[in-house]
Copies of this chain bind each other. A is one copy, B any other.
Amino acid sequence: MINFALDCDFMTKKPIQFKTEIKGNRLARAGVISTPHGEIATPAFVVVGTKATVKALAPEQVRDLGAQTTLCNTYHLYLQPGDHLVAEAGGLHKFMNWDKPMFTDSGGFQVFSLGAAFGEGGVTKFAKEGTQNAQTMVAEEGAKLAQVDDDGVTFKSHIDGSKHRLTPEKSIAIQHNLGADIIFAFDECTSPQADYDYQKKAMERTHVWALRSLNYHEQSGKAGTQGLFGIVQGGKHRDLREESARVIGSMEGLAGFGIGGSFSKDDLGEALGWVNNILPEDKPRHLLGIGEPEDLFIGVENGIDTFDCVAPTRMARNGTLYTKTGKINIFNTQYKNDFTPIDSGCGCYTCQNYSRAYLSHLFRAKEMMAGTLASIHNLYFIVNLVSAIRSSLVAGTYEQLKKEYLG
C-alpha cells in the first residue's frame, strides 16, 4: 500500500499509477494499478457494492473470496444516505469497513436508467432488447425517463419521486464526498436504439462533460488522493467510438478510462478493439457493467484491465449459479438431494462447506444465507476466473485457459 502521508512526492505524485507487466496476444496485458488503498493486479473483476455494501456479504467475505476492489454507485449513495453524511462518517472506506481499493461510478448510467422523468422534451429512453450489457438489465426492469440538456440531467428519485439534478461538477463533488480511490467523469448513457445523430450528440456532450469533470476535479484539491477516469461513449459506430477514444484519451489529467454504453454480444470485442487501439497504453481501462465469463475473455483480449458487473450477485440471489460447465438453477428438483458441491473442484467457501441440497433447501425456505452462500460462490467464480486469466497471460497459457472455460 502506498502511504501518501509519508510520501515526499505527495503533491506531485498521482494517486493512481498503472504499470504493464506482461503483454499478451492482440491487446491483452497484465499489469498493476496502484491506489492510495493498495494495489490491484489486473486484469481484475471489481465487485459491485451498490449502496455501500456488497449485497448479502460482509467485507471480510468479499476479501476472502479473492476480491481486490469494489465499486459503489454514486446515484444510489447520493440519494441514500447522502454523500454529505458519508463524508461526515469519514468517507466510504470507513463507512462500509472496506480498506482496499474502491471505485465509484459517476451516477450517469443510473440517472438515465432508474431516474424517473418529468416535464417534456429532451428525454432519453432505454431500450428493452438487443443488448447484453448488464447495465441494460436494470433498464429492462422498466424503462424510465430522465431529462437531459447540455448542462446536465434532471431526474426524479426512484425512491421518493423527489426532484434532483446532476451536472458534471455535481457528480464529481459527490464522488469527492464519497472518497473512492477511482472516480468517473459524468457521462450521458444512451439507449442502444438511439439513432446515429443522437449517439453523436450524446458523445459530444459526454466529451464536454469529461472536460468539465476534469477541470472541477483538478481545481478541487482532491486530485492528489483520488484519480479521475474519463468515459468513452459512441454507441455501436466505429467512427464515433474512435473519435471518443481520441478525445477522451487526449485528456492528460485523467488517471484512466471507462468504456460505457451498450454492446451487442457479437460486436463487443470489435468495439473494444476500436477504442483500445487508440487509448494511451500507460493508463488503465475499465469496462463498465459487463462481466459474463465469455465477455471477460473478449474484454481482456481487447485491452480491458478491469470489469464490474452486478450479474454474479444478482443471479446468485435468484438461485442461478456458475459452474465450469455452465450455469445451473438451484431450484431445479434434481438438486434437492444432490449432496455434491455447486461446482466440483471449486475452492470457494460455499463449495468447501455446503452441498447443492443445502443451497436448494435455503432457497426454498427463503433463508437469507441462500443469497450469501450463492453470492460467495458466483463472485469467487468470476473474480478467480479473471485472476486465472491474469495468471495465464503471465504464464503464456491464455489460449489453453480460454478453451478450458469456453470449450
Contact = CB atoms under 8 A, between A and B. Distances in A.
* Most chain B beta-carbon neighbours within 10 Å: one of A55, A362, A368: A368
A175 interface: no
A337 B336 CA distance: 45
A361 B52 contact: yes
Contact of A368 (B354, B362, B371): B371
Interface string A352-370: 0111011011101101110
- How many copies of this chain does the complex contain? 2
Nearest to A52: B361
A55 B90 CA distance: 31
Given A97-B353, A353-B97, A339 B369 contact: no
B367 A51 contact: yes
* Most chain B beta-carbon neighbours within 10 Å: one of A90, A95, A361: A361
B368 A368 contact: yes
Contacts of A80: 361, 364-365
Contact of A53 (B61, B353, B369): B369
Interface residues of A, number: 37
A251 B339 CA distance: 39
Nearest to A360: B81
Nearest to A375: B368
Interface string A45-69: 0000001110111100100000000
Contact of A85 (B81, B97, B336): B336
* Most chain B beta-carbon neighbours within 10 Å: one of A76, A364, A372: A372
A370 to B, nearest CB: 9
A96 interface: yes
Interface string A367-387: 111011100000000000000
Contacts of A21: none
A337 B88 contact: yes
A89 interface: yes
B51 A365 contact: yes
A357 B51 contact: no
A52 to B, nearest CB: 7
Nearest to A59: B353
A53 B362 contact: yes
A102 to B, nearest CB: 15
A96 B357 CA distance: 10
A96 B339 contact: no
A335 to B, nearest CB: 11
9 contacts: A55-B367, A80-B361, A80-B364, A81-B365, A89-B355, A89-B358, A96-B358, A97-B353, A368-B372
3 tightest CB-CB pairs across the interface, nearest first? A81-B361, A56-B368, A97-B353
Given A53-B369, A368-B368, 17 more contacts: A51-B361, A55-B369, A56-B368, A57-B369, A80-B361, A80-B365, A81-B361, A81-B365, A85-B357, A88-B339, A89-B339, A89-B355, A89-B358, A95-B355, A95-B357, A96-B358, A368-B372
